[in-house]
Structure 1
Amino acid sequence: MDQVVLVLGASGLFGSHAARAFERAGWQVRRYSRARGDMAGAAHGADLIVNALNPPAYHHWARLVPAITQEVLGAAQANGAAVLVPGNVYVFGKEPGPWGVATPHRAHTRKGRIRAQMEAAYRDAAARGTQVILLRGGDFLAPGEARSLLDMVVLKHLARGRITTMGPPSVPRAYAYLPDMARAAVMLAEGRANLASYEDVPFPGLTFSTEELRAALQDRLERPLRMRPFPWWAMRLASPVWELARELSEMRYLYRMPHRLDNARFAELLPNFRGISLPDLAVQEVAALSV
């Protein structure tokens, strides 16, 4: 019998890729809409719940993230389902890297503290019998989908021969190419019988600087690209009246601080996994942006 997965937030970045990846792997995929209301009912008979729900533009995170977490855990407990959650790097704050399973959670931002509390709730639920897999990634990469910051900001003017850098161009940062991350999610879900009740799995993805990205794109385009800094000053001015500007400014440290995710646990669990390379990502971005 096919395994059944309920994907929450299936129209979002991670959720849409996860739904397609599970379908390709032969799972029966149910896409949950909050308009339906009854999450526990929607999860009836499901083997796995993928929680890709996220309040848009960080809106009301302090209230909605804990509420969503408890609703997901209630649905999982009512149906005996496991839970898979895409995590991020906010919980680490400015801890030295590479960031891995043993890195302390010392969030210093409001959003980081909310995510740390969310993860603690999942760990507590796992201790009470609900299996939880947290697959942690860096900034999402999804060529051709304008919702990723890379496409919305960094490569917005690529056709004009220009890249925007949101921090020092030489600073390496962690990224998660979503087709790969979703494929890894399926592989972990299918091997969940051999996993602990709570698994914190950093997804290594890609780590590169804006300079390295520019070099890869220049190799593909066979022409030079200019670089200009992101106007953070405009975000500061807009913060009192524009929520996204305020929330993005809070995370500026992640564009200034070199960081990457430790691949040790991921390599243990999925030793044969192969992800995209930076040159291949450049090929996809050039094609997606019609440069």
Structure 2
Amino acid sequence: MNSHVVIGFGPAGAATARLLAERGHSVKVVTASGRAPEPGIEHVALDARDSGRLTEVARDAAALYNCASPPYHRWAAEWPALAASLCTAAEATGAVLVMLGNLYGYGPVDVPMTEDLPLAATGPKGRVRAAVWERARALHEQGRVKAVEVRASDFFGPGVTDGGHLAGRVLPPLLRGKPVSTLGDPDAPHSWTYLPDVARALAEAAGDERAWGRAWHAPTGPALSVREMTRRLADEAGTGPVAVRGLPPAVLAVGGLFSPLLRELKEIRYQFDRPFVVDAGAWETAFGVRATPVDEQVKATVAWWRERLAAGR
């Protein structure tokens, strides 16, 4: 089977679908609204929570990649139905279920995160993400599906425009030489996962049986603070030193009165108030693949954003 189905067409879904198409695979992308086709990619409009229709789309697929996520403030309500549909489709078709995960499930920890840490999240978003993987893992252990999860930290790189960190909050003002603001402590070490590395890890996990049945951390470079990443980005952009300011908790509290997204950030503020460090050594050891060097990440990201802003997008 040379067909692959990608759920979601945000930054990770788009990068994964296009990488698979570049490698010669036939790719279907499932989103609620659909899109016009592009080389090697067919876009299908359907609600991925409809397990019957999703199963039909994935009938001849080698792998089913979940890169979709409900709106942030509706995770607890909507993730269970999406996860159930994904597992049903994977079981019915035999496609490998490749899940893009994050690090919320560990909850607050004081050590570099490895995959053997317990999923001990204390907040609702962390608990629901942990439950999504535990369901798929249990079905894998029962022999009903083939499942793997690839966990990433905050996305960074070409194609990433949303989020309140290096993407939407830092890069646009930085490229204009203006001060930037960030959540939490701007000097706390933080892991950033380069989007092309995420796509490559998802594709490799689908095709290598050694990866199945467990969670992995995507290749991720050394942890760098927002201030240090801002300095590197400003140096590459030639915009000179840029001031970096942490947003006071009171600002977020007031903003949360009007914005569901800002309200939900309270649960994960710990990720920016102190070191938040990913250990991707297990993937590097098993598959011999390391993260793209940070200098290359920075160069490609600044070039992509310059082109985007020049086009008025």
TM-score scaled by length of structure 1: 0.91
Match of 2:96 in 1: 82
Task: Say whether 1:121 aligns with 2:121.
Answer: no
* Matched letter for residue 36 of structure 1: L
Match of 2:149 in 1: 134
Cα offset, 1:191, TM superposition: 1.5
Match of 1:167 in 2: 184
* Local SS of the residue matching 2:172: coil
Match of 2:68 in 1: 53
* Matched letter for residue 230 of structure 2: R
- Cα distance in 1 between the residues matched to 2:30 and 2:129: 22
* Matched letter for residue 63 of structure 1: A
1:183-202 Cα deviation digits (max 9, x unpaired): 1211222223x344x12111
Structure 2 segments unaligned to the other structure (5+ residues): 33-44, 48-52
Q: Report if aligned partners of 1:137, 1:203 keep a CA contact under 8 Å in 2.
A: yes
1:199-258 Cα deviation digits (max 9, x unpaired): 211114132111221331343227222122235423211323421111122211100121
Q: Report if aligned partners of 2:149, 2:216 keep a CA contact under 8 Å in 1.
A: yes
Cα gap change, 1:143 to 1:164, in 2 (>3 Å)? farther
Q: 2:286 aligns with which of 255, 269, 274?
A: 269
Match of 1:36 in 2: 46
Q: 1:156 aligns with which of 172, 189, 198?
A: 172
* Local SS of the residue matching 1:31: strand
Cα gap change, 1:283 to 1:29, in 2 (>3 Å)? same
- Cα distance in 2 between the residues matched to 1:239 and 1:169: 21
Match of 2:119 in 1: 105
Q: 1:24 aligns with which of 22, 27, 32?
A: 22
Higher relative contact order (CA 8 A, sep 6+): 1
Cα gap change, 1:121 to 1:154, in 2 (>3 Å)? same
* Local SS of the residue matching 2:5: strand
* Matched letter for residue 48 of structure 1: A
Task: Say whether 1:185 aligns with 2:199.
Answer: no
Match of 1:94 in 2: 108
Q: Report if aligned partners of 1:167, 1:256 keep a CA contact under 8 Å in 2.
A: yes
* Local SS of the residue matching 1:285: helix
Match of 2:233 in 1: 217
Cα gap change, 1:145 to 1:251, in 2 (>3 Å)? same
Q: 2:246 aligns with which of 212, 226, 229?
A: 229
Q: Report if aligned partners of 1:4, 1:47 keep a CA contact under 8 Å in 2.
A: yes
- Cα distance in 1 between the residues matched to 2:31 and 2:299: 34
* Local SS of the residue matching 1:164: strand
The farther-off stretch of 151-160 and 132-141 is: 151-160
Q: Report if aligned partners of 1:204, 1:261 keep a CA contact under 8 Å in 2.
A: no
Cα offset, 1:144, TM superposition: 4.8
- Cα distance in 2 between the residues matched to 1:43 and 1:278: 36
Q: Report if aligned partners of 1:140, 1:177 keep a CA contact under 8 Å in 2.
A: yes
Cα offset, 1:119, TM superposition: 1.4
Q: 2:161 aligns with which of 129, 146, 149?
A: 146
Cα offset, 1:31, TM superposition: 1.0
- Cα distance in 2 between the residues matched to 1:113 and 1:32: 26
The farther-off stretch of 67-76 and 146-155 is: 146-155
Q: What do you get for the CA RMSD once the two structures are aligned?
A: 1.9
Runs of 4+ aligned structure 1 residues displaced above 4 Å come to none
- Cα distance in 2 between the residues matched to 1:86 and 1:204: 13
Q: Report if aligned partners of 1:95, 1:103 keep a CA contact under 8 Å in 2.
A: no
Structure 1 segments unaligned to the other structure (5+ residues): none
- Cα distance in 1 between the residues matched to 2:184 and 2:172: 16
* Local SS of the residue matching 1:156: helix
